[in-house]
Amino acid sequence: MILSRTFVLALAAGGLLFGPALAQPKADPDWPCVQRKVSTLSPGTVWTGPDLEAAGPWGDDYEAASLAQKIASRRTELGEVDPLLDEFVAKAGDDKAKRLTRVFAGVFEVVNNERNRVIGGITRYAQGQRRMAERIRQEADQISSVKDGPSANDAREMPKEASELETKFAWDRRIFQERSQSLTYVCEVPTLLEQRLGEVARKIQARL
């Protein structure tokens, strides 16, 4: 594949070279997702039940902690949460409200920690993409420089250096685009976690 200077510049100008995630300026350059970045969740966004601190440390209640970790996990289908909560309530006794509050406190902490890890991973991913985009820009400039040089006047005699640069350019661009596509799906994870947290909170509060 022979790239003309005009073609390379057109790719860059149109955002095709670097992808939509990095084509538009962002308030946070390390946040490439369309979804708004919310660094820290607050229990109050989904919880209207009893005070979490007043219920005591959730980790000290073994059964509440075990249930919290189980229903916080995405491996547990939301359809399985109701029977698990009903079983817990049946054994909770007079402290039902306090113990259910501990369950939510545990779910919130587990989900929030997982969400923070995901956001950190997205940030590192975006930083890597930005570095790769800069490398692709440099490769495009090098190709143009070599092809416009005195030894490249005849397109049929493309210098070996230009050929090698174009091969590397094409490979890096392909990797960049594939990673950009993967990032689209990864960006949905924090939102999915927030939705799960809200649904579990609703189920717990319905049993208070």
Distance, CA of 127 to chain centre = 13
User: Going by C-beta distance under 8 Å and a sequence separation of 6 or more, which residues neighbour residue 113?
Assistant: none
- Model pTM greater than 0.75? no
Alpha-carbon distance of 144 to 31, in angstroms, equals: 31
- pLDDT value of residue 127: 81
The residue assigned the tokens 């100008």 is 13
| 113 C-beta neighbours (distance < 10 Å), count | 11
Closest CA to 166 of 180, 146, 150: 146
- pLDDT value of residue 25: 45
- pLDDT value of residue 58: 96
The residue assigned the tokens 């039940």 is 49
Q: Is 123 exposed, middle or buried (0-12, 13-18, 19+ CB in 10 A)?
A: middle
Per-residue confidence in pLDDT tens, the chain, 208 aa: 444 443 343 344 334 334 444 444 446 777 888 888 888 899 999 999 999 999 999 999 999 999 999 999 999 999 999 999 999 999 998 899 999 999 999 999 999 999 999 998 888 888 877 787 787 787 777 777 766 665 555 555 555 666 777 777 777 777 777 777 777 888 899 999 999 999 999 999 999 9
The amino acid present at 77, given as its one-letter code, is E
Helix axis angle for 81-92 and 189-205, nearest 10°, is 40
- pLDDT value of residue 5: 42
What six digits make up the tokens of 81? 């949460």
- pLDDT value of residue 147: 65
3-state DSSP: the chain helix, strand, coil percent, rounded to 5? 75, 0, 25
- pLDDT value of residue 172: 72
